[in-house]
Chains A and B, each alone.
Chain A
Amino acid sequence: MTDAGRRALVTGIGMVNAGGGDTATSWQALLDGKSAIGPIRRFDPTGLPVSLAAEVTGFQPPQEISRRLLAKSDRFAHFALAASAQAVADAGLDLAAEDPFRTGISFGNNSGGWDICERGFVEYYQQGPPMINPFQATAWFPTAPQGFVSIQYKIRGWSKSFAADRASGGSAAYFGLRALRWEHNDVMLVGGAEAPVTRLGVGAHVSTGELSRRTAPERAYLPYSPEGTGLVLGEGSAVLVVEDAGHAAARGARVYGELLAVEQRTGQPDDGTVLEDALRAALDQAGREPGEVGLIFGEGCGSPAADQVEAEAIGRVLPGVPVTVPKASVGHMYGASTATDIAFALLAMHDGVLPPTAGTQVDGPSRYAPVTATAVEGSVSTAVVVSRSREGTNVVAVLASHGNGR
C-alpha cells in the first residue's frame, strides 16, 4: 500500500440508530447523554435471558426507495438504504453523474437479516420446504445491504462486505480506505448495517456470552467498568461518503474531515500488545504523534476482562487521552458501529465537544478508562476510533478535523 498516496476526505454522513433517524438528531441525543437502551418492544422477550435493547422506533424508509425494493429486502438493508440516501444527499453527490465503475461500497455486517430469517423458518417448519419465500436467499445474507444499495444507485465499482463480529464495521473502514488508496475507486460509501433485534436474533446472540442480562437500562451497558456485564444490542446503520481529495475539490464538496489511516491487527483476544501494535501502526501511517490525539472512541464492549485489556493498551500508547463510548447510548451495532463512531468523532472535532458515555456517573471513579458522564467542551484536531472483535481482530482508525489533514 502506498501510504503517501491519495487523501481520503469524509464529505457526507448518514445514520439511523436508536438515538435518532438522522445525523443531527442522533448527535444531539448523544450530547444530551440520553441512552436509547430500554425494554425490548418489537417482540415479546419472555423466555429469553435478555430483555433490553437499543431499538430504532418509528423508522420510515426514505421515499426515494421503491416499495418493490423494500418488499424484497430485510430491515438491516432498509437501514443501509436510508443511511446511504442521507449520506449521498448530505455530500451533495449526484451519483448518476459519477463513473459507476469508480464508485464503490465497503460495508460491515455481522449477523444478516433476522426478520426475513424468522419468516423463512416459519415457512419452512410450518408449511414445508417448497413454501420458503423466494427472497430469503438474497435478503438475509450479510452482503445484502451492499447489494441493495448498489442496485439503488447503480454502483458498479470495487465493493466488498465484511463480517468480523464486533469489528465488522472496522474491517469495512480498513478496506474502504484502501479502495481509494489502491485507486480502485474515487468515491466510497463506507459503513455498515445491523438489525439483530428480533426474538430469534437476540436469542442467537445470547449464546455469544457477550450480552448483558441486566434489566435496569441505566446499569445494563457499562463500558470499562468492573461492574460491566456485557453489551446491549443496538440496530441501525451509518454510511460515510469517503472521497478522494482531488475528486472532492473538483466538485467543491463540503468536508467534515480526513480519514488519515485505518490499521488492522489480529492476535489472541486477551493479548493487549496486538491493539497496541494497531494503535502505533495507525498513528504512524497517519503521520501523527500520540500527543496530538485529543479523543478516543473505544470499543468498550462492557465485559470487564476485555475492557481492561483494551484500556491498558490504550493507556500505554495514548495515556490520559479522554475515551468515549457512544455504544452505551445507542447499543452495540456491530457492523454499523465503526462508521457511527467515525461520524461522531468528526462531529466532535467540528463542534469542539467531547461526547459523554451514558451511565458513567453510576459507577464513579472506578473505571479503567477516562470516560466522562457529560459532554465536555474541547478542541480536538486528531481523533482515534477503536474496534475490537471477540476473537482478536483489532482495528484502529485515525481522523483529522477539516483543515488539519495531511
Chain B
Amino acid sequence: MERTSDDIHQALTDILGELGVEQDAITESAVLGTDLELDSTDAVEIGLELKRRFDVTVKVQVKGSETVGDLAKTVLHEIGQQHA
C-alpha cells in the first residue's frame, strides 16, 4: 500500500497522543527530546508502534535535535527503501 507523508504524520500524531503528548504541541518543528520532553522509553515505544504500523525499523532519537518532521521523513524514507 502506498504511504503518503500525511499518513505518517497522522500516525505520529496518534502515537504521540497515546503517550500523553498534547495534540497542540505536535508540530513539524517540535524537537522530540526538548520540546515534547520524550525520554528513552518513549523512543522505544514510538519505534515499536512504527514497526507495527509500517513494518519499518526506525531508531527514534530523543537525545539530539530530531524533530517530528525529521522523524516523519526518516519513516517515509525507510518505507521507500522497503519497496525499492
Q: Please give the residue numbers on chain A whose beta carbons come within 8 Å of chain B beta carbons, in ascending order.
A: 66-72, 127, 130-131, 133-135, 138
Residues 50-79 of B at the A interface (beta carbon under 8 Å): 51-52
Say yes or no: A68 contacts B52, CB within 8 Å. no
The verdict on A69 contacting B48 (CB below 8 Å), with A134-B41, A135-B41 known, is: no
Say yes or no: A71 contacts B41, CB within 8 Å. no
B23 vs chain A, min Cβ distance (A): 11
Say yes or no: A131 contacts B20, CB within 8 Å. no
Partner of A69, one of B18, B20, B40: B20
Partner of B20, one of A68, A127, A134, A138: A68
Q: How far is the CA of A70 from the CA of B20 in the complex (A)?
A: 8
- In addition to A67-B22, A131-B51, A133-B45, 5 A-B residue pairs with Cβ atoms within 8 Å of each other are A71-B19, A130-B48, A134-B44, A134-B45, A134-B48
Main secondary structure of the interface of B (DSSP, over half): helix
Q: Please give the residue numbers on chain B whose beta carbons come within 8 Å of chain A beta carbons, in ascending order.
A: 18-22, 37, 40-42, 44-45, 48, 51-52
Say yes or no: B48 contacts A67, CB within 8 Å. no
The verdict on A68 contacting B19 (CB below 8 Å), with A127-B52, A131-B51, A131-B52 known, is: yes
Q: How far is the CA of A138 from the CA of B52 in the complex (A)?
A: 22
Q: How far is the CA of A352 from the CA of B45 in the complex (A)?
A: 52
Say yes or no: B41 contacts A72, CB within 8 Å. yes
The verdict on A71 contacting B51 (CB below 8 Å), with A133-B45, A134-B45, A135-B41 known, is: no
A178 vs chain B, min Cβ distance (A): 34
Point out the residues of chain A lying under 8 angstroms from B45, CB to CB.
133-135
B11 vs chain A, min Cβ distance (A): 17
Point out the residues of chain B lying under 8 angstroms from A72, CB to CB.
20, 41
Q: How far is the CA of A134 from the CA of B60 in the complex (A)?
A: 14
Point out the residues of chain A lying under 8 angstroms from B44, CB to CB.
134
Point out the residues of chain A lying under 8 angstroms from B48, CB to CB.
130-131, 133-134
Say yes or no: B52 contacts A71, CB within 8 Å. no
The verdict on A68 contacting B41 (CB below 8 Å), with A131-B48, A131-B52, A133-B48 known, is: no
Name the residue among B37, B48, B51 with the largest chain A CB count within 10 angstroms.
B48
Point out the residues of chain B lying under 8 angstroms from A127, CB to CB.
52
B14 vs chain A, min Cβ distance (A): 13
